[in-house]
Amino acid sequence: MEVMLIPLLILFFILVAGFGIENTFKILPPLIILGLLIYFLGWIAVKYFWIILPIWFISKLLSNKNKGSSSTYSRTYRRTNDDFFNSGSTNRTTYGGTFNSREEAEEFFRTFFGRGFGQGSTNTGGNTYSGYSGQNGSSSYQRTTNTYATDKSKYYTILGVSKNASQDEIRKTYHKLAKEHHPDKFVNSSDSEKKYHENKMKEINDAYENLTK
pLDDT given for residue 26 in this prediction: 83
pLDDT given for residue 146 in this prediction: 43
pLDDT given for residue 172 in this prediction: 92
pLDDT given for residue 63 in this prediction: 76
Backbone angles phi, psi at 171, to 5 degrees: -65, -45
Task: Identify any residues that bridge with 99 across adjacent strands, giving them in sequence order.
Answer: 73
pLDDT given for residue 6 in this prediction: 73
Give the helix/strand (H/E) hosting 140.
Answer: strand 139-140
pLDDT given for residue 116 in this prediction: 55
Which residue numbers in the chain have pLDDT < 50?
1, 68, 70-71, 80, 82-90, 120-148
Q: Coil, strand, or helix at residue 106? A: helix
Identify the structural domains of the chain with CATH numbers, from first to last.
2-67 (no CATH), 73-140 (no CATH), 153-211 (1.10.287.110)
CB 79 within 8 A of CB 112: no
pLDDT given for residue 149 in this prediction: 53
Give the helix/strand (H/E) hosting 63.
Answer: helix 49-69
Question: 30-84 pLDDT, tens per residue?
Answer: 888 887 888 788 888 778 878 888 888 888 888 766 654 544 555 555 554 544 4
